[in-house]
Structure 1
Amino acid sequence: MEFSVTNIDSDIKKSDCIVIGIFESQQLPKIALKLDKISSRYINDFINRGELEGKLGQTLLLHYIPELPEKRILLIGCGKEKDFKERQYKEIIKKTINILKYRCYIQATYFLTELNVKNRNIYWKVRLAIETIKDTLYTFEQLKSKKIKQHCSLDHIVFSVPNNELIIAKCAIKHGLAIASGIQVAKDLGNLPPNLCNAGYLALRARQLADNFSHNISTVFIDAQQMKDLGMNAYLAVGQGSQNESLMSIISYKGTNESTKIKPIVLIGKGITFDSGGISIKHADNMDEMKYDMCGAASVYGIMLIVAKLQLPLNIIGILTGCENMPDGNSYRPGDVLTTMSGQTVEVLNTDAEGRLVLCDTLTYVKRFEPEIVIDVATLTGACVIALGHHFTGLMANNNTLATELIRASKQADDPAWWLPMTNEFEDQLNSNCADIANVSGRYGGAITAACFLSKFTKQYQWAHLDIAGTAWRTEKDKGATGRPISMLSQFLLNRAGLYKEN
């Protein structure tokens, strides 16, 4: 689908459908007043008869309009103007695209970007519209023998913006399309079944990314033998019960001149391609959803695609920690003590707390890159879902400035995160009688104690942990990967690159 911007109403004549928002006050916006005048009060007559009250999500599609018989006007209710915020804006974008995709329209002009969303500029409104439209139209049919017929013939959406904001709106389209493409590829990876998407497959996709952007992306792989030589015994223990070999993919993006010596930002994605729980096996209910335990790696892959498309002036290393946690005679056990790459020993009390074992060795490995910051993204704990539901990503960090930056980015991108504390009281819950640290604590504060575990391997650099167990995928009838927290991390990197300006 193509997106473009135009100054106010110059492209109306080319549009098959004109989309206009109406608040409950029923005061017509500028474009609606113009069209109403041309059509001899055709729009006002419908509103005066009560056919559109302006309640949020109400729609009225007008046909055969006087003086504009070849056009359609889609009016959508936006609710009360004082209550119109990000959520309402995204809701009406989603509603309108779901209506238009079943019509035989080729081009639609959106005047919804003229609506006032508190504290949001035209850049945000255009970019979030594109992300929302792409998300609404997303389907995963790669593995179906019979494809569902796609109804959407709409292939061009034009956003109406003022003349003095055309440049920033065009920038928003560029960013929005890149971010949406990263989200889509992350969803596709997350939705693939574990018999297809294993650590080797993630490595294949990483190599393909390097082939497509060979001028500034390179990829190397760390296999099981190399991990053994490096002393990554915790990582290896998790995968030793699986027939699929553990494999870590390292994607390096160089967006700056080599002579500048800018330290890299390292992004680590948890890539457990299936998590049975190992010997501490999970309950059978919904175990199929454990294919989504690699959504952290999928998100990092999506981010690396985005930065390559946008050519961000940063150095970024993305790591996909491919591994599978399965039970067999060679599996690691509750009671085992593992010596990590850092030299610290870990008592395994639960083999279903495997993500932190893979991540702790990876967090030690990345010290060689002398990173500016490190951010890990992981579907780490059910406790985070209990604490924050499916709405907020959990954020914990060893640096307040970094945490503040990420929270700001989450708000800018409307991809919510919540900053949770890490204190010594939580660290004490990880004490072990026979090792330096246990891999789980008691029942309480599980998301935080998991972060405290990881923090013991991050003393040499600034680090943040994003627990996406509640936000990486949807369950039940809408089951599928979401691509979160790609929007937040993309915004964070745009901010770091100095390419985003708020109001």
Structure 2
Amino acid sequence: MTLKFATTTDAPESAATPCIVVGLFEDRTLSAAATRVDEKSGGAIKRLVESGDATGKPGTSTLLFGLAGIAAPRVLVIGLGEQKKVDAAAFNRVAGDAARALKGLPIDAAVSYLTEIDVPDRDSAWKLRSAALAADNQAYRYTATFKAKDAPKTPQLESIAFAAAANDANVARALTEATAIANGVRFARELGNLPPNICNPAFLAAQAKQIADAHAGVTLEVLEREDMQKLGMGSLLGVSQGSANPPKLIVLRWQGKDEKTRPYALVGKGITFDTGGISIKPGPGMEEMKFDMCGAAGVLGAFLAAVELKLPLNLVCIVPAVENMPDGNAYRPSDILTSMSGLTIEVLNTDAEGRLILCDALTYAQKFDPEVIIDAATLTGACVVALGKHASGLMTRDDELADQLLNAGNVTHDRAWRLPLWDEYQSQLESGFADVANIGGKYAGAITAGCFLARFTNGRRWAHLDIAGTAWEEGRKGLATGRPVPLLAQYLIDRSA
């Protein structure tokens, strides 16, 4: 359940809460709230600094308990690092550090005064929303497939308030946006974390139905195999051939404006498990391929956030949901598939399946005559090699759209980096047996995947987000991150301004 967010104008020494959060810079300078606490407690924080128990270094925290003159029983002092290096990225890190420390305390509520810290080129509303999202991100716990446990014996964080000026409409709006985006991120994370024997194509369709049932103005259509056969979606259906779980094409629509207004379209790769098919993946690490539907989870989460905010725009969310499995009926390397667009595709590797389901979904999206199409997909390991785990890969031929998406990522710290889509790369996709091959060879794998998708979006404003490096954390216990929900939600918020 998402944290409850609020604001407060209480002075730090008088806040009636189990814990307050203040900051300390690395040069021993106290934040404004820390200074007040220090003064009212007879120099308690400065004594910690002088003794070396509190350094202000990034990633450090110190807990003080039962300070005289302070209403809250706990004071959490967070290291802020160097003052001159405080920027948006540093603030997000500090907010995450504070949230992580709060998560380990036996408390159900807290008040943070970190929003008083100056961040260049960022206003109070941005600081509040960023701190709120960081807090909820850390508070998330995955419990769905563990044995049911008794209620925790100690309290767990349920709500957090942030210092803010009274009667600030921008701050109130920031709280509303934070709640909606946090709900979308949690929704996406939960879908990503669920195992593939639960989260299959039918389950994704059921989750979409829950969104539609719970929100006025939302409609749902789920296309079955027979519907897709009639539409000629031979590429998507080819990927689904080896699975006992039938494919679904999930279409959610939000009507926030009149019907004549062209919608924005979000398309998300929904491979609920990817064995690689006949081109089967190596065993080590294959368990992470339950995350191959995080593009679908991301667009569904962004759709949910937009609907909860009641954004004044029209929105279509399309999820091709398929499982890529090897059996006697599975598609093979050298098969030729005919896509909905009519283009034929030579399959050189059945593990390059995401683009094969997306191309038909992108063609289908054009029936709505969208203003913009944005797809999100855990598409290529090559993107992880290129950008690591910090930035999603962005590809588009539309400079204005690229700038809008990059800005949305910078605002939410859900950042992307633009890669080229030059025509020179298209030659790598040439085939002697079909209109296009589904892989482009050894080099520039993320870009040639984007080039493949570009062939199905000619004449449209379209962008591709490769989230293979950002959709989940590394390691056997790594969780889904919920990205790119914040980026997409911010993009849609900006279009509603």
Q: 1:145 to 1:10 in 2, by over 3 A?
A: closer
Residues 275-354 of structure 1: matches in 2 within 5 Å? Answer: 275-354=274-353
Residues 174-193 of structure 1: matches in 2 within 5 Å? Answer: 174-193=176-195
Matched, 1:157 2:185: no
Matched, 1:74 2:73: no
- Measure, in 2, the Cα distance between the counterparts of 1:320 and 1:69: 51
- Measure, in 2, the Cα distance between the counterparts of 1:70 and 1:122: 24
- Are the aligned partners of 1:8 and 1:162 in contact in 2 as well (CA < 8 Å)? no
The TM-score, its normalising length taken from structure 2, stands at 0.95
Secondary structure of the 1:390 match is coil
Structure 2 residue aligned with 1:14 = 16
Deviations 1:351-370 (A, max 9, x none): 11111111111111122101
- Measure, in 2, the Cα distance between the counterparts of 1:43 and 1:284: 52
- Are the aligned partners of 1:237 and 1:332 in contact in 2 as well (CA < 8 Å)? yes
Count of matched residue positions in the alignment of Structure 1 and Structure 2: 494
- Measure, in 2, the Cα distance between the counterparts of 1:24 and 1:312: 42
- Are the aligned partners of 1:102 and 1:152 in contact in 2 as well (CA < 8 Å)? no
Deviations 1:279-321 (A, max 9, x none): 1111111111111111111111111211111100010000111
- Are the aligned partners of 2:128 and 2:162 in contact in 1 as well (CA < 8 Å)? yes
Matched AA of 1:160: A
Deviations 1:209-243 (A, max 9, x none): 11111x20000111111111111111111101111
Structure 2 residue aligned with 1:226 = 227
Structure 1 residue aligned with 2:245 = 244
- Measure, in 1, the Cα distance between the counterparts of 2:377 and 2:150: 32
Deviation at 1:205, TM superposition (A): 1.1
- Are the aligned partners of 2:13 and 2:37 in contact in 1 as well (CA < 8 Å)? no
**Alignment RMSD (CA, Å):** 1.8
Deviations 1:11-38 (A, max 9, x none): 8342232211011232333333333333
- Measure, in 2, the Cα distance between the counterparts of 1:43 and 1:87: 26
Residues 56-455 of structure 1: matches in 2 within 5 Å? Answer: 56-68=58-70, 71-147=73-149, 150=152, 151-163=154-166, 166-213=168-215, 215-258=216-259, 261-455=260-454
- Measure, in 1, the Cα distance between the counterparts of 2:194 and 2:107: 32
- Measure, in 2, the Cα distance between the counterparts of 1:152 and 1:485: 31
- Are the aligned partners of 2:12 and 2:20 in contact in 1 as well (CA < 8 Å)? no
Deviation at 1:69, TM superposition (A): 6.8
- Measure, in 2, the Cα distance between the counterparts of 1:271 and 1:407: 24
- Are the aligned partners of 2:13 and 2:70 in contact in 1 as well (CA < 8 Å)? no
Q: 1:203 to 1:156 in 2, by over 3 A?
A: closer
Q: 1:444 to 1:77 in 2, by over 3 A?
A: same
- Measure, in 2, the Cα distance between the counterparts of 1:299 and 1:470: 14
- Are the aligned partners of 1:100 and 1:152 in contact in 2 as well (CA < 8 Å)? no
- Measure, in 1, the Cα distance between the counterparts of 2:86 and 2:150: 35
Secondary structure of the 1:202 match is helix
The TM-score, its normalising length taken from structure 1, stands at 0.94
Q: Which moved more, 1:481-490 or 1:116-125?
A: 116-125
- Measure, in 2, the Cα distance between the counterparts of 1:148 and 1:443: 52
Deviations 1:125-183 (A, max 9, x none): 1111111111112111111114486554333322112347x322221111111111111
Q: 1:119 to 1:147 in 2, by over 3 A?
A: farther
Deviation at 1:449, TM superposition (A): 0.5
Matched AA of 1:154: L
- Measure, in 1, the Cα distance between the counterparts of 2:390 and 2:35: 39
Secondary structure of the 1:474 match is coil
Deviation at 1:57, TM superposition (A): 2.7
- Are the aligned partners of 1:12 and 1:18 in contact in 2 as well (CA < 8 Å)? no
- Are the aligned partners of 2:12 and 2:113 in contact in 1 as well (CA < 8 Å)? no
- Measure, in 2, the Cα distance between the counterparts of 1:305 and 1:342: 29
Deviations 1:252-286 (A, max 9, x none): 0001133xx11000000000111111111111111
- Measure, in 1, the Cα distance between the counterparts of 2:284 and 2:184: 31
Gaps of 5+ in 2: none
- Measure, in 1, the Cα distance between the counterparts of 2:434 and 2:106: 66
Matched AA of 1:221: V
Q: 1:197 to 1:382 in 2, by over 3 A?
A: same
- Are the aligned partners of 1:8 and 1:161 in contact in 2 as well (CA < 8 Å)? no
Q: Which moved more, 1:389-398 or 1:22-31?
A: 22-31
Percent identity over the alignment? 43
Deviation at 1:389, TM superposition (A): 1.0
Q: 1:24 to 1:424 in 2, by over 3 A?
A: same
Secondary structure of the 2:393 match is strand
Structure 1 residue aligned with 2:28 = 26
Matched AA of 2:309: L
- Measure, in 2, the Cα distance between the counterparts of 1:102 and 1:238: 44
Secondary structure of the 1:480 match is coil
Q: 1:478 to 1:268 in 2, by over 3 A?
A: same
Which contiguous aligned blocks of 4+ residues in structure 1 show a shift greater than 4 angstroms?
148-152
